[in-house]
Structure 1
Amino acid sequence: MFFTTNPICAQTIKVACVGNSVTYGAGIKDRATNAYPAQLQNLLGNNYEVANFGFSGATMLKNGHKPYWDKTEFKASQNFAPNIVIIHLGLNDQGNNNWPKHKDEFIADYLEMIALYINLPSKPRVIICKMTPTFSGHHWFEEGMRENFQEIQDKIETIAKTANVELINLHEPLYRFPEYFPDNLHPTKQGAYVIATKVYGAISGDFGGLKLPEYYGENMVFQRNEPIIITGTANTSEVISVSLHNNKATTKATKNGTWQVTLPAMKAGGAYKFSVTSQSSKNITFNKVFVGDVWLASGQSNMDWKVHQMQSAPSVVKDSLNSNVFVFSMDAKVLHGNKYTQQDFAKINANDYFKYSGWSNQKDEVFKNFSAIAYAYAYRLQKELNVPIGIICNAVGGSPIQSWISRERMEKTHETISMLNDLWLNPLVDSWNSKRKSENFNFNKNLKNRHPYDPTFLFDAGISPLKNFNFKGVIWYQGESNAEREDLYTRLFKMLVNDWRTHFKKPELPFYYVQLSSINRPNWGAFRNAQRKLLTIKNTGMAVSYDAGHKTDVHPTQKWIVGERLSKIALAKLYNKPIAFSGPLLDFVNVIDSKLEVHFKHAEGLKTLNGNEINDIEIAGANKVFVKAMAKIKNDKLIVWSPKIENPRFVRYAFSSFTNGNLINKYRFPASTFTNIIE
């Protein structure tokens, strides 16, 4: 063992697990062998004696409905003469029958219990725990429990500091595994094992030695011109030394096994040697790393579409390799339309869903299987900026936007809580996603497993592991799996952008996205218009792609042009390059007699492709019944009318799901789908 505050040679170390039903093991089959204290015993081995003093329903509050103070388990835990005490209480205090009336007593009661244990004749080491999760499916969640829970978690942190005792965070990573909590409160055997490993690490200091996140490796790129934060795990109190080029730093792993160093900002350059060493574990060295700009590419299948699948792929592979572009793929291990096997279900968890490719700048399988759009984007940035560009892609085909949003964020509104709680044929979920899940689950709605398209899953598996890495910005191509409900998507997209900016600790993180292309599917015109209106979000940009669509194929192969359009947005808006980056965007509409005068932003040289008449343009009166319109261009404005509409009020353009819209500016950027209807 690495350390204990009470070293006892050739003597069994007694561990008292104090708590409520989670400690007791309520709901776990074969509780005596599978509750967390029993699994902790197996991890610690014969030098320890672990005893379970859990009591279901117990409160920390003396004035709670079932105080632990009154239970025989409390007295028995003291008589056990423990050397270590693990306290996990508070879950039952969050109920409205306890918390509102007695919450001001919680800290005093908890501190008194800690003092009582510390002053036992055995003088135990006391460790307290932040609570395991209470999930949104609990019937009291929106009736105050959500807020009560967070108040208790905050108070437990205060208590640990006040009493100067160690704190174990049992909320993470269990919060990323709702499948381990079938009743939204009590963990399964697997959940109990996670608790046991967290407690084992706190007691022993053993966290498996020096480790770095999986996205570290040869040819990786660190973000330039910003402090370089490097994180990892190691055994408790392990001294960690980090070296990158001429910069060095030393730190010590915390009691929870984490460590972090911050190196000074560096200008673009490389290759540099990067090493991380520890005093007793293995050392890690990468001989070639770089400093430049790092981007995250995410979304669904059109972002995931590979270099080797794109139009003109052979010439791209042959002629467009850029050795200063470094790509890294996170590929889904399970994604198909058949019935899932037990092996499939085993991989659909937040720890194991993605396969990491490692970094590459070579003409190899990593490059050929990388996102075509993301590569085109990075290629153009590198040519213009002349710095190393790193880009990570974790797009997943068919994924809806709600799968990419964190549980923290989705638990804040009733609408998204509904999506979290009803995972089977929820009417808020697009029909294709529901059908695919039904097929994968063999139409068995009693399965408690997660599906890759379930809300929060891809955040847990693909975004949470990256949140300590520093990205310059995000490019996003997604929406096909949410196109049935554009108003809901608008709310979810705003939620996602804010959520990622919060987790990446960059409130103004650039977020550039692709407007859906063109296909004969219902509602795509209205959806593209909804995406246009999302440009009101600060530090966003939108690449129009309907002119690169296909009438029947949801995966059009013209990916290079889409990646280039995204890159021009970044170059103009973020890097201040004097280049055009957008097609005409609706500004406002004037009513002039029986005609509408449409004004645009980015309308210099407004014209049609090949000089033809304007396609897919419609006009309506106050009743919003649209008819085909006549139109002409005058001084970069669009004049629209119809003899059938005497008093026009509304116009819409490129609203057909598969549109032949042909309005462009002098830079040949296509105009976005638009209407002036405000809803």
Structure 2
Amino acid sequence: MTLIGFAGAELKLPAVLSSGMVLQQEASVPIWGRANPGETVTVTANWGEATGKPPTEVNVQADADGHWMVKISTPKAEGNEFQVRVSTGPETVELENVVLGEVWLCSGQSNMEWRISDSMDAARQSPDLSAEDISLEPSRIRHFTVSRAYALEPAEDCGGRWLDASGENALPCSAVGYFFARAIQQELDVPIGLVISSWGGTTAQVWTSAEVVSAFPDHAKALEEIRARGGEATLSETEIDAFWNGVDEAAFFESRFKSPDFDDGHWDTTSVPTSYDDLGLSGFDGVVWFRTVVDVPPSWAGSDLVLELPPIDDHDETFWNGERIGSKLERGAWSTPRRYGVPAESVKGGAASLTIRALDTGGQGGFGAGAAKLSRGDEWIDLAGEWRYRRGVPSASAGRPPAPPQVDHRLPSALYNAMLAPLIPYAVRGVLWYQGESNRSSADEYRSLFPAMIVDWRTRWDDLALPFYFVQIAPYRYGEGPEGEDATARLREAQAMATRLPATGMALTADVGNPRDIHPKNKWEVGRRLALFALHDLYGHPEIEPDGPTLRSATLAGDRLVLDFDHVAGGLQKTGPALEHFELQAADGTFVPAVAEITGEGRTITLRAEGVGEPKAARYLWSDAAESSVRGGTGLPMAPFRTR
């Protein structure tokens, strides 16, 4: 990108509108940015030159805030490179090496973020892929990966740059996005642009706008609270008092340790900084008291002082002569050096008592590296000498401090604001989404949250039919947790319910997961399966079947249940010696393994189970890590399900 103009120029474009970008072919493409209020902005594109036509030129006037936007029409991609020129009177931005093609937004958590560099070894070992399939030679695929960021309010811009997905520049590209792009690029023979905005371990609510996510009470409460705190995750003095008073009540006799008159002569000694392990308290989570005496110079009397301490893992309450001068209870306080003021009226010459109540809530506890000192201006006293310490109440009794919401990647709408809003309204052909693992604990909410997010994005892009294809989470042993043993199955069910929205598709992964790895390496097949939906729906291949067998109906036939399926072209097929992971519900409500048989000329499956005279319901793959034992004639696995 070339900027021509004067120092202090105000003409600005967002990072996604930059040299090397891919613009959606045959579309009305928004170009937007900032300029001086009232300035006329001219956008010129030269794609008409290839056919002897004059450049496309559009003018617009920046509004009172300096914002402007135009839409320019793009022709069919022919493989040429173009220039887009944006200018005001004194300034010009030239975008070079611009191509037209198909643009897709890729988002979600770590399985979408997972890079080509982390998947290539597995790809090379696959008997299903040729050297050409996984070659990173120039492939007319380009990617723009949004830098990680979060914000309380929508941002105007984000970090990132356009790269060719070839050689070393391909390695940081999303593997799922890349293999999707390879599949459709080979069919369409046009450039493919991937705009990748993803962050591992994130939930759907952080990718949803505040206006929409606030319809969900828990998320609305988090946003209201952080805004009420001015965007800061700090606790009020009232909240701090309430917490430490509760700790005092849990171990009432310990409150006397704060007093400057308390005799700690029988306590053990140490120096600061020190850890719980150093004190022989390895594995202990809870309170440890530290006390020392500071000899304050007479000349410091009546002066404001500053107490500096190393980070204290996790929290602390610090006292000067029995009066609290500071406390850190926020999340992340374990890594924060302490800096507390000692008010002038509390400073007298001679001996002063300094007491620290440290609270570790898990893992390593104690002081981190750094100096402990007391200072007045340029003068200071080293506090690393002798301290006395005593183990206090365990964390199970002390409890955990209140955790106010903070602006980070876990706050509802925070990633929408910083990593999605700056991309709107960049013209895209559709969306690819791989997420859900981090919403297992709220699977029931996901039934409404996920479709709300989809509609939210479509509304923001002003296209209620924007194609949205997503991946059902793969088999993985999550282990026991508070969310319940069927949380994964209910999350998958919630994902499947989102296909009731138009222009959606769900890529099934029940046969390409890894029960021991939440990040299965077979990203090329996931990308290919997403591409099947695009090829079928958008790119003129109605003969392609993108869906695996999906339950249509269940009919009781005596002591048997007959299941009928859609998307069974070529007939149902076993993937192993037996049909596994089918269950029937008995009269007492329990589910028992069922014997399954393919019937009805390959379109149905009949279930029966010993001791179940009249099955009440059936389910399939209703667990974390079970892998598909049935596929359709196209090789795609049967979708998990339960009957009602």
TM-score range, shorter chain: 0.5 to 0.7
**Corresponding letter in the other structure for 2:60:** T
Return the alpha-carbon distance in structure 2 between the equivalents of residues 318 and 528 of structure 1.
30
Deviation at 1:309, TM superposition (A): 0.2
- Counterparts of 1:628 and 1:313, CA distance in 2: 35
Query: Which position in structure 1 is the counterpart of 2:193?
Result: 390
Query: Cα 1:627–1:464, aligned 2, differ >3 Å: closer, same or farther?
Result: same
Q: Within 2, Cα distance between the matches of 1:505 and 1:386?
A: 28
CA deviations 1:140-169 (Å, max 9, x no partner) are xxxxxxxxxxxxxxxxxxxxxxxxxxxxxx
CA–CA separation in structure 1 for the residues paired with 2:411 and 2:611: 48
Structure 2 residue 508 is matched with structure 1 residue 544: yes
Partner of 1:653: 620
How many Å separate the matches in 1 of 2:157 and 2:204? 17
Task: Check the 8 A contact 1:272/1:290 in 2, yes or no.
Answer: yes
Q: Deviation of residue 291 (structure 1)? A: 1.3
| Aligned counterpart in structure 2 of residue 326 of structure 1, from 121, 142, 145 | 142
**What is residue 168 of structure 2 aligned with on the other side?**
364
1:214 aligns with 2:15: yes
Q: For 2:180, which of 370, 377, 388 is the aligned residue?
A: 377
Equivalent residue for 2:521, pick from 513, 532, 557: 557
Tell me which residue corresponds to 2:497: 533
- The corresponding residue for 1:627 is 592
3-state SS, counterpart of residue 260 of structure 1: strand
Cross-structure match for 1:229? 30
Contact 1:619–1:648 (CA under 8 A) maintained in structure 2:
yes
In the TM superposition, what whole-angstrom CA distance separates every residue of 1:399-423 from its partner, at most 9, and x where no partner exists?
A: 1111011011123354542353467
| 1:514/1:544 contact within 8 Å kept | yes
CA positional deviation for 1:288: 1.2
Taking structure 1 as the reference length, the TM-score comes to 0.62
Cα deviation, residue 599, structure 1: 0.9
Q: Distance in 1 between matches of 2:584 and 2:67?
A: 61
Q: Deviations over 1:284-310 (max 9, x none)?
A: 112211111111000000000000001
TM-score (norm 2): 0.65
**Which one-letter code corresponds to 1:211 in the other structure?**
K
Task: Please report how far the alpha carbon of residue 552 of structure 1 lies from its aligned counterpart in structure 2 after TM superposition.
Answer: 2.4
Answer yes or no: is the 8 Å Cα contact 1:594–1:645 preserved in 2. Answer: yes
Partner of 1:597: 562
Distance 1:516 1:448, change over 3 A: closer
Partner residue, 1:641 = 608
One-letter code aligned to 2:455: N
Q: Counterpart of 1:227 in structure 2: which amino acid? A: S
Is 2:527 the partner of 1:576? no
Q: 2:571 aligns with which of 589, 597, 606?
A: 606
Structure 1 residue 259: Cα displacement: 1.5
Residue 518 in structure 1 maps to residue 475 in structure 2: yes
> Is the Cα–Cα contact under 8 Å of residues 307 and 372 in structure 1 kept in the other structure?
yes
CA contact (8 A) 1:250 1:261 kept: yes
Letter in 2 for 1:454: L
2:81 to 258, 261, 271: 271
The residue number in structure 2 matching 1:454 is: 411
1:250 deviates by 2.0
Q: Which residue of structure 2 lines up, in the alignment, with residue 85 of structure 1? A: none
Q: 2: CA distance between counterparts of 1:254 and 1:641? A: 69
Looking at structure 1, the residues matched to 42 and 159 of structure 2 have their Cα atoms a distance apart, in angstroms, of 29
Report if the CA contact (8 A) 2:149-2:409 is conserved: no
Q: Unaligned 5+ residue runs, structure 2?
A: 1-6, 47-54, 125-130, 227-232, 234-313, 315-328, 335-399, 479-484
C-alpha spacing 1:260/1:530, structure 2 compared with 1 (3 Å):
closer
Residues 508 and 539 in structure 1, CA contact (< 8 A), matched pair in contact too? yes
The C-alpha deviation readout for 1:340-373, integer Å capped at 9, x for no partner, is: xxxxxxx9986599641333243223x2011100
Larger mean CA deviation between 552-561 and 614-623 belongs to 614-623
3-state DSSP of counterpart to 1:332: coil
Equivalent residues in 2 for 1:293-308 (5 A)?
A: 293-308=102-117
d(CA) in 2 for partners of 1:233 and 1:444? 44
Partners of 1:254 and 1:620 in 2: CA distance: 64
- Of 186, 211, 214, which residue of structure 2 is paired with 1:411? 214
CA distance in 2, matches of 1:361, 1:271: 16
Q: Which residue of 2 aligns with 1:499?
A: 456
Q: Do residues 489 (structure 1) and 440 (structure 2) align?
A: no
Compare 610-619 and 398-407 and name the one that shifted more: 610-619
Report the Cα offset of residue 327 of structure 1.
Answer: 0.9
Deviation at 1:218, TM superposition (A): 2.0
CA distance in 2, matches of 1:349, 1:670: 42
Distance 1:449 1:486, change over 3 A: closer
Equivalent pair of 2:39/2:88 in contact (CA under 8 Å): yes
Q: Secondary structure at the match of 2:505?
A: strand
SS at match of 1:498: helix
How far residue 610 of structure 1 moved from its aligned partner, in angstroms, is: 4.2
Letter in 2 for 1:592: A
Q: What's the counterpart of residue 629 of structure 2?
A: 662
Partner of 1:255: 64
Contact 1:624 1:650 in 2 (8 A): no
Aligned match of 1:134: none
Provide the rounded CA distance (Å) in 1 between the counterparts of 2:106 and 2:330.
28
> Is the radius of gyration larger for structure 1 or structure 2?
2
Q: Is the 8 A contact 1:308 1:317 kept in 2?
A: no
Q: What amino acid is the match of 1:359?
A: L
Amino acid at match of 2:148: A
Asked if 1 retains the 8 angstrom alpha-carbon contact of 2:157 and 2:422, the reply is no
Deviates more, 1:244-253 or 1:624-633: 244-253
Structure 1 residues 670 and 317, CA gap change in structure 2 (3 angstroms)? closer
Pick closer, same or farther for the CA change 1:256–1:207 going to 2, 3 Å: farther
Measure, in 2, the Cα distance between the counterparts of 1:241 and 1:492: 41
Q: 1:624 to 1:293 in 2, by over 3 A?
A: farther
1:218 and 1:317 map into 2 onto residues whose CA distance is 28
Change (3 A) 1:601 1:320: farther
Mapped contact 2:149–2:418 kept (Cα < 8 A):
no
- Cα–Cα, structure 1 residues 417 and 661, in superposed 2: closer, same or farther, change >3 Å? same
Cα distance, 1:529 vs. partner?
2.3
Q: Deviations over 1:66-103 (max 9, x none)?
A: xxxxxxxxxxxxxxxxxxxxxxxxxxxxxxxxxxxxxx
Shift of the 259–421 alpha-carbon distance from structure 1 to 2, 3 Å rule, reads closer
Aligned residues of 1:274 and 1:288 also touching (Cα < 8 A): no
- Kept after mapping to 1: 8 A contact 2:136/2:167: no
Q: Which residue is equivalent to 2:205?
A: 402
Farther-moved stretch of structure 1 (296-305 vs 635-644): 635-644
| Larger RCO, structure (CA 8 Å, separation 6 or more) | 2
Q: Matches of 1:441 and 1:299 in 2, distance apart?
A: 29
Return the letter of the residue paired with 2:580: N
Greater strand fraction, Structure 1 or Structure 2: 2
1:606 and 1:663 in contact (8 A); partners too: no
**Cα offsets for 1:92-122 (capped at 9, x unmatched):** xxxxxxxxxxxxxxxxxxxxxxxxxxxxxxx
Partners of 1:485 and 1:333 in 2: CA distance? 24
Q: Tell whether the 8 Å contact from 1:207 to 1:235 is kept in structure 2 after alignment.
A: no
Q: Deviations over 1:418-454 (max 9, x none)?
A: 3534679xxxxxxxxxx9x986464875677412111
Q: Which residue of 2 aligns with 1:567?
A: 531
Higher helix share: 1
| Kept after mapping to 2: 8 A contact 1:328/1:360 | no
Amino acid of the residue matched to residue 43 of structure 2?
V
Q: Is the 8 A contact 1:608 1:614 kept in 2?
A: no
2: CA distance, partners of 1:364 / 1:317:
17
Distance 2:558 2:200 in 1: 49
